[in-house]
A and B are shown apart, each in its own frame.
Chain A
Amino acid sequence: DGGITQSPKYLFRKEGQNVTLSCEQNLNHDAMYWYRQDPGQGLRLIYYSQIVNDFQKGDIAEGYSVSREKKESFPLTVTSAQKNPTAFYLCASSIGARYTDTQYFGPGTRLTVL
């Protein structure tokens, strides 16, 4: 995990509520990412940011929003528009956004919709 923290570890949400997942890194990395992991599937990219104040949609951005106001922080909001939000959410960072730049992951947040 080293250097990347995610909170909370477990999160429960009622249908219709927005929730925000926190991701902080102290590795001085420019790039940050949000992934969703479901059982039996590979990681799917939600959003990524190559630099402060800039971010791009990944493969499954619908129902999610992000901000990148500080280099260290990349919070993810799961909105009520996300139809199936129950999943394990992983935040990652890398020194840059090149294919060769290793991504370092946080410990994850498990979101459950009640």
Chain B
Amino acid sequence: KNQVEQSPQSLIILEGKNCTLQCNYTVSPFSNLRWYKQDTGRGPVSLTIMTFSENTKSNGRYTATLDADTKQSSLHITASQLSDSASYICVVDQLIWGAGTKLIIKP
């Protein structure tokens, strides 16, 4: 069964700290993987997209990695800011969506 699982479900860190969010998928075949940011009560906004041949993609303080062999992706956030508080969602082929990781940045 095609699935996307994200961990942790929720995470609280202090402002300025780094964090890494995980995404494991069992989708096959696989074309691309995206990370979205969703603020509470809003629609998701695309952060990065990676094809199966790419290992890393950066967007400002956000860096996504992909290991197609182990079917794992991660999203690393550097020097977190209060505005990073949101849910981060991993999706494969724009079809199989993870449940998201809720990130809370505390001052």
Contact = CB atoms under 8 A, between A and B. Distances in A.
A106 interface: yes
Interface in A66-89: 88
A99 B43 CA distance: 19
Nearest to A97: B94
13 contacts: A40-B99, A42-B91, A42-B99, A43-B44, A43-B97, A90-B43, A99-B31, A99-B94, A100-B49, A100-B51, A105-B43, A105-B45, A108-B41
Given A99-B32, A103-B94, 16 more contacts: A42-B4, A42-B96, A42-B97, A42-B98, A42-B99, A43-B44, A43-B89, A88-B41, A90-B43, A94-B94, A99-B94, A99-B95, A100-B31, A102-B46, A105-B44, A107-B43
